[in-house]
Structure 1
Amino acid sequence: MIPSIPQKGLAEALEGWSSKGELWQTLAAIPSERDWSWRDSERRAMRVLLAELADLIEDWPTLELEWIEALPAVSHRVREVSPVPGSGVSWAATRLRGWPPSEFVSRPKARVADQLLVASLRWTIERLALVRISAEQAAPDVSAPIRAQLDTAERLLDVEPVASAPAIAPSEVDLTAIAAEGRPWAQLSPVTAALLALEEATVLDLARRLVAPTEERWRLFHLGVFGEVLRALRDRGHVYRSLRPLSATSSGPAFEVVDTAGQSWDLWFEAAGAWKYHGVCDPYADAVAGVPGAGSALGCDVALMRFSERAMLLDAKYSANAAVVGRDGYRAALAYAAEARSGLADEVVSVAVGPTEVVQTPGWTLTDVGQIGVIAPDHLGHALARLFDRRSSSPRAPGSLRTDRGR
């Protein structure tokens, strides 16, 4: 089973984004066990795209001559004035310049390659070469089945008439005309169309098409959970505004949230920076001070915080394994709550958020460090109610026991 991603939340998180670079940078901002950059996210997406196009490119020529000979020529006339008569002289036009003539007007016919085909071919090859570079950096063998076709196409960039042609993206009407020219243009046209679609795709389309099928799908789950928080806040009548991009290159809360009482809250995407932001000592950093390479401050995936007062902490657990979501998620939520109580907030609601297929109903318990829950993305409204309505939000009395399932 491949767990689902909260699609409405993902759409909410990506709403208004116009740059594909924003998506790569945001995905890279989500910590993982290995160093990861936004280039890595882009490369894996391009690997998916090249694999999608492989069946189409497989039918491309493997010799430059096949491409050149397939270029239909068109007649082209230019007006020339010469001191001696030449091919295609126009006596009527020449006479208008005086008689007897001292110069001759001619319109010789020249045959040149079809400019639509050449310009579209160059545009396609250039865009495809960029996709190939990124894809091969993620998986060097991804282009192996079509390497001969790609190498041949790229060599055309140094061969006339392609070498001197402008790279112009064709229109939809142009694509139909190109496909009608037969082989190899009928094989070029769908590849060109796919690359055009990539240029015009929304960030959400790009995420669904090129990131969701990869090993980085879990990063989209994180984004989807963040978007579900935004949706749940809006449903409760709270308002929010963006403060910074969701990327590793910026610091501080991502959004400011103003609740229905007019109080301001910070909404964090990857909240490890909250300790430094508020000038509070991170307990983890102290505990591992004697362990070189143990890493910097810990931080939950999403945090809604009114500093020194209340906070909701979320740890996204994208797995089909119930133990990973339940047991590991509970431990993480408990640890984040304990840390937050040491300097970030007096009252804490801390939850592990797992896929809907795994978490069928929300579960809650009250501990000495706050309310701990394991929920699905569509239960986030319940979590916010516990935070804002302050229901059972005080730490339990010593020796007492409370569990609260499905509420």
Structure 2
Amino acid sequence: MGELAAERPELTALTLPRRGLEELFRGWNSDGQLFDALSAVAAVEMDVQWSADAIERRAARVLLEKMESVLLLLPDDPGTWRENLPVTTTSAREVSDRPLRPTDWATTARRYGWPSKAFVGHPRSRVKDESALQTLTWTARNLERMVRDVRGVAPLLIGRIERPILTMIDMVRSDLPDVEALRPDRLDLRSLASSGRPWSTLALVAASLLRAQTDLEFLAFELIEPNPELAWRLFHLSALGEVLAAVRSLGGRVRWNAPLTAGESSGPQFQLRIGQNIWDLWFEASAAARYYQVASPYKAATTGVSSIQRAIGADILLCLPGRHALMLECKWSALGSYVGRDGYHQASSYLIEARCGLADNARSYVIGPEEVVRSQSETELDWPGGVAAVGVGSIEHVAGLVRSLVGESR
């Protein structure tokens, strides 16, 4: 983790659950979907809202740290690149009224007799290897953007690696202005890897960049998880994935209504058909009261506060409107007081909101790390008209909570 390791040492004792994330990744095909989803996670405790671009910059920082030793093997002077620009020799058959260099005498005699009035030749020409140059240009453009984005948050790292990167960028600008920046495939990288330095080094760098853009598990677990400012967001997504996996295990069908993006959602992102019932699944449910047109005790109770109000909502809400609701408040921390006390405050608030029109039977749970929440516990309140329960559990308990809720609805 390099410079990131000391920022939140207490989180190194926690193991990020991956099963739910892998469930989500089954339906995604690009790094942009993950960045958007991470930016959708609301931070109640902080005023700062992270954009997808800001999260991408933090991931770029970790990737540059991982590539540092390889980047320093790249040429730090443009002359080395120019001396090694790859070329290939091509030949084409031509017919001329005078001998060519080289002339195919056998074909000339066979076709035109002897003495011949026309000559067949195979002139050769040397051309640049476009595939290698396109990969070089693509790599330079990506590194240029990453250096620009990361410089402000990790100036020492950029200071160590920027000389060979800037050399590559300047050479591409001056010598290859018309070369298209095409993302390489595995065959392109395999060919470069066997071409000797500096191309074999370029292949390693390009392969890392390509993996970060196409391998969501590498992006999540190797580039985002090491950043303490972002790992908790992955925990929220993992909990969402556990809910979806539980629904599928019950034979439910999942329809994705809207992407997971920053900003308040106008409706549930998922619609779930389980048996004869259609459930709504929200990721960040602050707009639920308005969507279902039910009262919000929070908004009514805080009208006397002069600052701008912001609606509250559970991190994850699974509901059969009017009947059943399960709310999950995700807390990724090694501090039991934060998971238990702070989480309880929020989960209790969401329970009150839900019982005021959203659902007659409502359960609200804090979901924390397994290392902190060793067992599931809850209390059921003596509220008339239905169920009102609040409790805590780990991410391993999410599937059971979903199955229990669905069972109550049948």
TM range (shorter): 0.7 to 0.9
Does the CA-based 8 Å contact 2:212-2:218 persist in structure 1?
A: no
Residues 22-37 of structure 1: pairs in structure 2 closer than 5 A: 22-32=33-43, 33=46, 34-37=48-51
Does the CA-based 8 Å contact 1:316-1:354 persist in structure 2?
A: yes
What is the deviation of 1:271? 0.7
CA distance in 1, matches of 2:171, 2:220: 32
What is the deviation of 1:278? 1.1
Structure 2 counterpart of 1:263: 277
Kindly provide the amino acid, as one letter, of the partner of residue 124 in structure 1. T
Change (3 A) 1:275 1:173: closer
Kindly provide the amino acid, as one letter, of the partner of residue 326 in structure 1. G
Change (3 A) 1:138 1:277: farther
TM-score by length of 1: 0.82
Does the CA-based 8 Å contact 1:315-1:332 persist in structure 2?
A: yes
Residues 317-396 of structure 1: pairs in structure 2 closer than 5 A: 317-368=331-382, 370-384=388-402, 386-390=404-408
Deviations 1:36-58 (A, max 9, x none): 21111222112221221111011
Q: Does 1:151 align with 2:166?
A: yes
What is the deviation of 1:362? 0.6
CA distance in 1, matches of 2:255, 2:381: 33
Range moving further from structure 2, 20-29 or 118-127: 118-127
Determine which of 29, 34, 39 is the counterpart of 2:53: 39
Does the CA-based 8 Å contact 1:88-1:108 persist in structure 2?
A: yes
Kindly provide the amino acid, as one letter, of the partner of residue 143 in structure 1. I
Unmatched 5+ stretches in structure 1: 392-407
Deviations 1:271-329 (A, max 9, x none): 11101101223222233334344441000001111222221111001111111111111
What is the deviation of 1:207? 1.8
Structure 2 counterpart of 1:124: 139
Kindly provide the amino acid, as one letter, of the partner of residue 255 in structure 1. F
Q: Identity, % of aligned pairs?
A: 35
Structure 2 counterpart of 1:53: 67
Q: Does 1:191 align with 2:219?
A: no
CA distance in 1, matches of 2:125, 2:154: 47
Deviations 1:321-356 (A, max 9, x none): 111111111121111111222232222111000011
Range moving further from structure 2, 125-134 or 270-279: 125-134
Determine which of 21, 24, 29 is the counterpart of 1:18: 29
Does the CA-based 8 Å contact 2:31-2:214 persist in structure 1?
A: no
Does the CA-based 8 Å contact 1:334-1:372 persist in structure 2?
A: yes
Structure 2 counterpart of 1:211: 224
Change (3 A) 1:307 1:146: same
CA distance in 2, matches of 1:97, 1:380: 86
Does the CA-based 8 Å contact 2:100-2:119 persist in structure 1?
A: no
Determine which of 7, 29, 52 is the counterpart of 2:18: 7
What is the deviation of 1:177? 4.3
Q: Does 1:296 align with 2:310?
A: yes
Unmatched 5+ stretches in structure 2: 1-11
Residues 271-286 of structure 1: pairs in structure 2 closer than 5 A: 271-286=285-300
What is the deviation of 1:110? 4.5
Kindly provide the amino acid, as one letter, of the partner of residue 156 in structure 1. M
CA distance in 2, matches of 1:263, 1:91: 79
Change (3 A) 1:342 1:263: same
Kindly provide the amino acid, as one letter, of the partner of residue 146 in structure 1. I
Range moving further from structure 2, 121-130 or 5-14: 121-130
Query: In structure 2, the residue corresponding to 1:309 is in which secondary structure?
Result: strand
Change (3 A) 1:346 1:372: same
Residues 51-130 of structure 1: pairs in structure 2 closer than 5 A: 51-71=65-85, 73-77=87-91, 88=101, 90=103, 110-130=125-145
Structure number having the greater helix percentage: 2
What is the deviation of 1:193? 2.0
Kindly provide the amino acid, as one letter, of the partner of residue 208 in structure 1. F
Query: In structure 2, the residue corresponding to 1:247 is in which secondary structure?
Result: coil
Change (3 A) 1:112 1:297: same
Deviations 1:357-403 (A, max 9, x none): 11111111122461111101111244335534559xxxxxxxxxxxx
CA distance in 2, matches of 1:22, 1:170: 21
Determine which of 244, 248, 269 is the counterpart of 2:258: 244
CA distance in 2, matches of 1:62, 1:379: 54
Kindly provide the amino acid, as one letter, of the partner of residue 4 in structure 1. T
Change (3 A) 1:388 1:115: closer
Change (3 A) 1:243 1:73: closer
What is the deviation of 1:113? 4.5
Deviations 1:128-186 (A, max 9, x none): 334434444654554221111111100112233x3344445555455444334433223
What is the deviation of 1:237? 4.5
CA distance in 1, matches of 2:187, 2:403: 54
Structure 2 counterpart of 1:305: 319
CA distance in 2, matches of 1:89, 1:238: 72
